[in-house]
């Protein structure tokens, strides 16, 4: 088994473990031990730091992915490229820190009326942003040295476990909320240290950067590429995170907490997308490089269909059990107010999944600049829509704004791929998939739903989910909606028969 496959397998296992830890943390531990204000503060600090890190790293992770091959050399420890990666973001960190403290008072004024509780802690985004920058940079360096398992484990397992532990000890009274935040941020700093130690153990640690490698205008190319990609990265973070920040400023921390939890529940439907995208992305890139548009179209169709099926099933299981899910959550009466937010955001995410790997097709083609410009436009629309809708409709307004932005973004990418390549993601099999989803949803309406104790509600969710999932899979196979799903089912059946015959 090659190193790439071994690393990918280990990383996938780590990712799925992280998903489980994240669900337990977000939907039970955090809700049980943190008040709505405390939950909103801790999440807003994290998400604001991700937004700031998106531009403060000046594109260093993307520069690594694009230009690392020019410096690769095991004998010289990659010509000390790590030294450049550690030094270059210091420019962005300095600019960000100066800008933050320059505008600290306007930031505080924005939150003062509705979310005054956030103000004493918001400065913590500065160290947290710095840690996120170096986590991203060091992950990129490891990735380009064909090592993704340990970095994935650190991000998906260690950081989430540390988060759970810090909140649990706070809930048990070991320290106050201030120290909980300090320790949470320290766990990210420790992640940076662990990554540096790991790189050292790999024998890839050298800070002696060979400036002679920067010839023929390469440094200018690196800076231009990094800054250009950063614009799109900032746009992405704005689209994904600006809603809850503006909601906290306009409607308060409790509303932000309700929205954050609803967003997390809706985001669960995207879990299958990550796996499908990881498989499809290198295939799309290679096909575009070879100008094999027939294969690109095939991948486009398959990704659209399979993401619709996988995301549609998860969407059905969540929405048909949504009342039971909220009943299981701590402080259910509060967080239940986000029910319609879940529906709006999950519906938008499902539609985006159904449009396939259009973003990857654009990003890995010669038209990648259009993706950056599109992301900037979407960020402006997101800010404008949230600014208009949140004062009028609160959390539902934030959901409307994000849904609108997501749908426009997905449709715009479909349009760009059509204009440049004359291919669309949708096929007749997609129509069959929608019909199957509609039929299964109709069946869910007549299935009994038990209420009462938490155990009875949990049993109801499990029972309904098994029936609906079984019916869904059966119909997909019966109508041969997806060749990939049929092939996978056939392979599992053959292996099962072979095992029984032994």
* Model pTM score: 0.87
Confidence band for 10, pLDDT divided at 50, 70 and 90: low
Per-residue pLDDT at 214: 66
CA-wise closest residue to 45 among 132, 160, 105, 106: 132
More confident position, 98 or 67: 98
Show the CA angle centred on residue 67, arms to residues 63 and 70, nearest 5°: 155
Residue 1 has pLDDT above 50, yes or no: no
The C-alpha atoms of residue 325 and residue 462 are separated, in whole angstroms, by 11
Q: What is the mean pLDDT of residues 386-404?
A: 94
Confidence band for 87, pLDDT divided at 50, 70 and 90: confident
Q: What is the mean pLDDT of residues 249-264?
A: 91
Q: What is the mean pLDDT of residues 213-236?
A: 78
Q: What is the mean pLDDT of residues 123-152?
A: 87
The answer to whether the beta carbons of residues 350 and 480 sit under 8 Å apart is no
Chain mean pLDDT for the chain: 86
Residue 7 has pLDDT above 60, yes or no: no
Per-residue pLDDT at 5: 47
User: How much of the chain exceeds pLDDT 90, in percent?
Assistant: 48
What is each CA distance from 30 to 164, 173, 249, 339, 407, in whole angstroms? 8, 15, 22, 19, 30
Q: What is the mean pLDDT of residues 487-499?
A: 71
The C-alpha atoms of residue 300 and residue 358 are separated, in whole angstroms, by 7
More confident position, 26 or 183: 183
Q: What is the pLDDT of residues 421-447, one digit of tens each?
A: 999 999 999 999 999 999 999 999 998
Residue 452 has pLDDT above 80, yes or no: no
Helix axes 36-56, 253-267, angle to 10 degrees: 70
Residue 172 has pLDDT above 50, yes or no: yes
Per-residue pLDDT at 355: 94
Range with lowest mean pLDDT among 162-171, 181-190, 290-299: 290-299
Q: What is the mean pLDDT of residues 395-414?
A: 95
CA-wise closest residue to 191 among 148, 144, 157: 157
């Amino acid at each position: 088994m090659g190193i790439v496959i071994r690393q990918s397998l280990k990383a996938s296992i780590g990712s799925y473990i992280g998903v489980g830890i994240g669900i337990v943390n977000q939907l039970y531990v955090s809700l049980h031990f943190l008040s709505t204000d405390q939950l909103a503060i801790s999440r807003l600090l994290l998400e604001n730091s991700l937004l700031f890190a998106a531009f403060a790293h000046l594109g260093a992770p993307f520069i690594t992915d694009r230009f690392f091959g020019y410096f690769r050399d095991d004998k010289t420890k990659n010509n000390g490229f790590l030294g450049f990666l550690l030094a270059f973001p210091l420019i962005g960190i300095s600019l960000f820190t100066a800008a933050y403290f320059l505008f600290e008072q306007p930031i505080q004024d924005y939150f003062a009326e509705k979310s005054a509780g956030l103000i004493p802690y918001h400065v913590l985004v500065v160290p947290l942003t710095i840690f996120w920058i170096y986590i991203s940079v060091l992950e990129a360096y490891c990735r380009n040295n064909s090592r993704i398992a340990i970095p994935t484990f650190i991000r998906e397992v260690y950081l989430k476990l540390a988060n759970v532990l810090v909140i649990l000890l706070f809930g048990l009274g070991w320290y106050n909320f201030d120290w909980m935040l300090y320790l949470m941020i320290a766990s990210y700093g420790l992640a940076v240290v662990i990554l540096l130690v790991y790189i050292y153990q790999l024998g890839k640690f050298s800070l002696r950067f060979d400036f002679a490698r920067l010839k023929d205008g390469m440094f200018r190319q690196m800076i231009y590429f990094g800054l250009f990609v950063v614009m799109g990265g900032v746009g992405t973070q704005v689209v994904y995170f600006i809603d809850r920040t503006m909601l906290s400023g306009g409607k308060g921390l409790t509303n932000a907490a309700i929205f954050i939890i609803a967003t997390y529940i809706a985001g669960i439907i995207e879990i299958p997308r990550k796996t499908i995208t990881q498989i499809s992305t290198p295939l799309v890139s290679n096909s575009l490089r070879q100008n094999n548009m027939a294969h690109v179209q095939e991948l486009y169709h398959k990704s659209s269909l399979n993401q619709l099926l996988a995301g549609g099933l998860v969407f059905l299981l969540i929405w048909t059990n949504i009342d039971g899910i909220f009943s299981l959550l701590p402080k259910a009466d509060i967080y239940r107010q986000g029910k319609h937010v879940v529906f709006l955001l999950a519906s938008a995410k499902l539609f985006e999944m159904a449009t396939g790997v259009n973003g990857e097709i654009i990003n890995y083609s010669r038209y990648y600049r259009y993706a950056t410009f599109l992301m900037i436009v979407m960020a402006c629309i997101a800010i404008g829509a949230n600014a208009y809708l949140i004062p009028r409709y609160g959390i539902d307004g934030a959901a409307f704004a994000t849904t609108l932005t997501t749908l426009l973004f997905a449709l715009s990418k479909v349009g760009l791929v059509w204009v440049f390549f004359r291919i669309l993601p949708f096929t007749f099999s997609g129509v069959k998939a929608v019909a199957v989803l509609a039929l299964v949803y109709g069946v869910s309406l007549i299935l009994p739903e038990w209420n009462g104790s938490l155990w009875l509600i949990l049993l109801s969710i499990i029972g309904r989910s098994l029936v609906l999932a079984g019916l869904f899979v059966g119909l997909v196979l019966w109508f041969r909606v997806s060749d990939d799903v049929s092939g996978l089912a056939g392979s599992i059946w053959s292996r099962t028969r072979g095992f029984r015959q032994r």
